[in-house]
Amino acid sequence: MAMTMFRRFSFLAAVLCCGLPAAAHETGVARPEVRLQETVTGLPTGERQELRVMTASFQPGDRTVFHSHRFPVTVYILEGEFTLELDGRAPVVLRAGQAYVEPPQVRMTGYNRSTTVPLRLVIFYVSDPGTPFLDPH
Reading phi first (left if > 0) and then psi (alpha if -120 to 50, else beta), residue 15 is in alpha
Shared domain for 73 and 15, answered yes or no, is: no
The pLDDT assigned to 26 comes to: 80
The pLDDT assigned to 6 comes to: 45
Number of structural domains the chain divides into: 2
Backbone angles phi, psi at 66, to 5 degrees: -70, 125
Shared domain for 25 and 54, answered yes or no, is: no
Shared domain for 13 and 54, answered yes or no, is: no
Shared domain for 1 and 57, answered yes or no, is: no
Shared domain for 73 and 125, answered yes or no, is: yes
Shared domain for 76 and 16, answered yes or no, is: no
Nearest to 115 by CA among 79, 66, 80: 80
Domain that holds residue 12: 1-34
Shared domain for 80 and 121, answered yes or no, is: yes
The pLDDT assigned to 11 comes to: 43
The pLDDT assigned to 27 comes to: 87
pTM: predicted TM-score of the whole model, two decimal places: 0.79
CATH code, domain carrying 128: 2.60.120.10
- Do the beta carbons of residue 128 and residue 44 sit within 8 Å? yes
Shared domain for 30 and 91, answered yes or no, is: no
- Specify the amino acid at residue 75: V
**Cα–Cα–Cα angle for 56, 57, 59, rounded to 5 degrees:** 150
Q: Which residues contact 9 (CB under 8 A, 6 or more apart)?
A: none
Shared domain for 46 and 26, answered yes or no, is: no
Shared domain for 67 and 82, answered yes or no, is: yes
Mean pLDDT by 10 residues, the chain (137 residues): 46 46 72 94 95 98 98 98 97 98 98 98 98 97
